[in-house]
Amino acid sequence: MKIKDYKFGYADAQKELDREPEIFEQAFYDPHDYLKELIDGYKYLIVGRKGTGKSAYSSKLQKISKEETDLVVKQIKLNDFQFTTFKKCNIDSDIVGNNKYNLPWKIILLTNICKIFYDDFEITEVKEFNEVIDILKKMNLFLDISFNNKIKNVKKLKGGVNLRIIDASIEAQVGDKPIDYIDRLSIMVELLSDTLSNIELNNKRLIFILDGLDDLLRIKEEQSVILSSLIRSIDEINELFVQRKHLTKIILLIREDMLNKLVDTDLNKIIRDSAMLINWTTTPTDLKKLVDLRFIYSGSERKEECWLDILPNNIKNKSSWDYLIQNTLLKPRDLLQFFSVLQDLFPEKEKINDSEFIKAIKTYSTNYFIEEMKNELAGFIEDKYIKLLTPVFSRIGNVEFSEGRFFNEFEKIINEEKFNLTDARNILFNLFENSYIGQIDFSNGKKNVFFKYRNPNAHFDNNLKFILHSGILRGLNIRL
């Protein structure tokens, strides 16, 4: 079997679902049974670093829904979410914290669920439901399943030409006329909550997935407040459905580093109760099993270590597996992209030799690993600094370096008076948090190297020396 004939999938889980859906039937690996919890349990936050497979769970749920008539799964991407417009939906600019966005979030989430009930569950003959829909139509909130269109129309509820008609419709439905924007939203959120949670779905269930937050490039202070409010709003809506024994759930996919930057008094409690962390570093055999499944799906007759069909057994006194993973961050995407690189380099070969393996590692590190570093840092470090990372590392030219050396080399290249040690330290901190650099500790009398992805409890210490990840060293051809 030639290397080009293997089916390792795509970097994007949605493309994988669209182009090779059988992968989710035969090669999806869920070592901790998270899928059952997502469908039948209470947890709804899928948390993980970029590339760990959060979106794969969304795609798997969508695949299941196409085969099982009692499950409806809908997904919305938030990658183009209009934060600037949403900020104008706040209930009071003088209110501090997440509360000023809870009502806008709830009405947007609930109106989307309402639209799904109408379209996919074909609920059209419930009087109270139809009356709510009539009000939503007057608000222009029943056009489609979306966020940005609804944001614009929620903002118009602060002041618009149709408010008298809208308020009259609300009064006719609940007996109270809204006195202002906050009252308008409060009444509608309560009305939607009661109406939707009392609708009988005939033992069917809805899973409404929000994905795409990985693509948000800048997490500013107000965006942090908005995202914290989103999580709190989802939590309260999901809890309402649980209390009413209603089979409806909202699921949010979010990066671990992004979640850690959010501030909310209840966030830690919510995370403990509702989050599932996707982490492949604690049990190394899980990653092996995931890769094996892709090979078996492609036709390998091995039951384990299937990569030996195409890789040499050992490289430089290490197993080829150990040599490979030391150039990754132990994420599924890293490994599958390496095998994709093999297909590009050696499509007609059945098995590669040692020198070809080293060449593939070098190409993978240059074309994928370093570029992934740049993508992952976007939003946490200014773009102009990200572009200079590889030249700075090349100028340093060593595996190990100090904060002072990093600052000096960066300062020479950037040539900006305002660039200072604090800027350099922030860059190093984010590189460390995302595991592209580690640190070296000699405090116990011997050399101890630690990276965040292998030791999640590790803390950044600018007084220690830093060490580059092997994937960067290979990509920049820096000697180990």
User: What mean pLDDT is reported for the chain?
Assistant: 93
- Residue 342 pLDDT: 98
Q: Which residue has the higher pLDDT, 474 or 282?
A: 474
Task: Inform me whether the pLDDT recorded for 314 exceeds 70.
Answer: yes
- Residue 257 pLDDT: 87
What does the domain layout of the chain look like in residue ranges? 32-277, 284-373, 378-476
Q: What pTM, to 2 d.p., does this model score?
A: 0.93
CB 75 within 8 A of CB 207: no
How does residue 95 score in pLDDT terms, banded at 50, 70 and 90?
Answer: low
pLDDT tens, residue by residue, 371-396? 999 999 988 899 999 999 999 999 99
Which of 340, 337, 320, 319 shows the shortest CA–CA distance to 329?
A: 337
Task: Inform me whether the pLDDT recorded for 335 exceeds 90.
Answer: yes
- Residue 282 pLDDT: 86
How does residue 264 score in pLDDT terms, banded at 50, 70 and 90?
Answer: confident
How does residue 35 score in pLDDT terms, banded at 50, 70 and 90?
Answer: very high
Residue 6 falls in which region: left (phi positive, over 0), alpha (psi -120 to 50) or beta: beta
CB neighbourhood size of 418 (10 A):
6
Task: Inform me whether the pLDDT recorded for 32 exceeds 80.
Answer: yes
% the chain with pLDDT above 90: 81
